[in-house]
C-alpha cells in the first residue's frame, strides 16, 4: 500500500505491522517512510502525534487499515488461530476517533462484507456517527484495475470533507502475457533456479514426480486432468474428484489474468501457479510483477517462503496508486 500511494504522490509517514520480517524490505524500498513494529491493539493512540507530529482534525490526513484478513477469507485457514485478528478494524477505528482524519482507506477480502459475524456493519455505523458522510465501497476485481490477476478485494474510501470515488474500472482485464513473458524481461529458467541478484528470478525446486506431472500438463492453461488417469502420477486424494480443486497443479494461461497470488504461489501444489510453458512454478520476481511491484523493488528476506509471504500478503501497488490518485483528484477538483 505504501509503495502505491507514494507512486501517486502521497507522503506516507509510517506503516504499522506486527511482522518484523517486513521491516528491512519496507524501509529499503520506501525511504522516508518509517516501519513501526507493533501490535495495533497495544499501540498508544497518541503514538503518531508524539513520534511524527501528526495533528488531529487534519483534512489532508489519510488513515489506512489493511488488517490481516485470514478470518474472513474463503481460503481454508485455521479460524480459531485467526480469530484474534477478527476485530482489528474496530481497533483501527480508535485511531480514527482520536485523530479525526479527512480520509479513511480500507482494503480487505470480500468476506468482510458478506460474513454474518463481520465487524464491518459496526465500523460503518462508527464512520457515520463520526461525521464521515462520504463513503464509497465495493468488492472489485483488480484485473480491471491494472493488476494481471483475478484478485477480488473489498475496498472502502470514506471522507468527512468531500465526496470520494473508487478508481475507474477499465473495460478490459490485464493479461498475463503483458507482464511475465520472455519479451518482458524474464529469461527461461528451470525449476530450482537461484538468482543471486536483486532481480530475484528465483524459483522453487520440484521433485522428479512433479516434474513428470508438469510435463504431462497441457501448456498455456492446462490442468491436472492431463495426468489423472496415470496411476503413477495421480494423487489418491483427487481420485474421483475431477471437478474439485481444479486449479491445483495447473498452469497459468497467457491470455487470461493469473489466479490470485497468495503467500504460497511458489508451490504448484497450492494453486494454479505453474508457468504457462516452462516446467516450473512462477518465480519470486514473476509473482511480484503480477502483484505489480516495480522490477526495482528489492526483497530483503532470507528464504523463498519469506519473500513469497511479503508478496502474497501485499496490496498490489498499482491498485493502491489508483486509489491514491482518486483521492488526490477529488481533492484537487474540490468535489463536494
Catalytic residues: 69
β-strands 152-159, 134-141: how paired? Answer: antiparallel
The C-alpha cell that represents 218 in the structure block = 497441457
Containing 85, the helix (H) or strand (E) segment is none
228: closest CA among 219, 238, 237? 238
Task: For residue 155, list its beta bridge partners.
Answer: 107, 138
Q: What are the backbone angles phi and psi of residue 324, rounded to the nearest 5°?
A: -60, -45
| Secondary structure of residue 68 in the 3-state scheme | coil
69: closest CA among 48, 100, 92? 92
Task: For residues 36 and 16, give the distance between their C-alpha atoms in angstroms, rounded to a whole number.
Answer: 5
β-strands 103-108, 152-159: how paired? Answer: antiparallel
Amino acid at each position: 500500500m505504501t509503495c502505491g500511494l507514494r507512486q501517486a504522490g502521497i507522503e506516507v509517514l509510517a506503516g504499522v505491522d506486527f511482522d518484523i520480517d517486513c521491516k528491512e524490505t519496507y524501509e529499503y524500498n520506501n525511504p522516508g517512510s518509517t516501519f513501526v513494529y507493533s501490535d495495533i491493539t497495544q499501540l498508544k493512540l497518541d503514538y503518531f502525534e508524539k513520534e511524527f507530529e501528526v495533528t488531529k482534525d487534519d483534512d489532508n490526513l489519510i488513515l489506512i487499515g489493511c488488517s490481516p484478513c485470514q478470518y474472513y477469507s474463503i481460503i481454508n485457514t485455521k479460524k480459531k488461530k485467526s480469530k484474534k485478528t477478527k476485530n482489528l478494524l474496530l481497533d483501527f477505528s480508535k485511531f480514527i476517533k482520536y485523530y479525526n482524519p479527512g480520509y479513511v482507506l480500507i482494503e480487505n477480502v470480500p468476506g468482510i462484507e458478506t460474513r454474518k459475524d463481520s465487524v464491518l456493519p459496526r465500523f460503518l455505523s462508527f464512520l457515520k456517527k463520526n461525521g464521515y458522510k462520504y463513503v464509497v465501497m465495493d468488492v472489485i476485481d483488480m484485473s480491471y484495475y491494472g493488476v494481471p490477476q483475478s484478485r477480488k478485494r473489498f475496498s472502502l474510501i470514506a471522507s468527512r470533507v468531500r465526496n470520494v470515488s473508487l478508481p475507474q474500472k477499465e473495460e478490459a482485464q490485464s493479461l498475463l502475457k503483458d507482464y511475465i513473458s520472455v519479451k518482458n524481461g524474464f529469461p527461461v529458467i528451470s525449476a530450482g533456479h537461484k538468482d543471486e541478484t536483486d532481480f530475484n528470478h528465483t524459483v522453487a525446486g520440484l521433485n522428479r514426480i512433479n516434474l513428470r506431472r508438469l510435463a504431462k500438463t497441457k501448456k498455456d492453461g492446462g490442468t491436472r486432468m492431463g495426468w489423472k488417469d496415470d496411476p503413477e502420477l495421480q494423487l489418491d486424494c483427487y481420485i474421483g474428484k475431477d471437478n474439485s480443486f481444479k486449479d491445483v497443479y495447473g498452469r497459468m494461461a497467457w491470455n487470461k489474468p493469473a489466479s490470485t497470488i497468495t503467500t504460497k504461489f511458489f508451490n504448484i501444489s497450492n494453486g494454479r501457479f505453474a508457468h504457462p510453458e516452462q516446467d516450473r512454478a512462477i518465480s519470486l520476481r514473476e509473482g511480484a510483477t503480477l502483484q505489480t511491484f516495480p522490477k526495482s523493488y528489492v526483497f530483503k528476506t532470507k528464504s523463498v517462503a519469506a519473500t513469497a509471504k511479503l508478496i502474497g500478503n501485499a496490496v498490489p501497488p498499482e491498485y493502491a496508486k489508483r486509489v491514491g490518485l482518486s483521492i488526490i483528484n477529488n481533492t484537487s477538483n474540490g468535489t463536494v
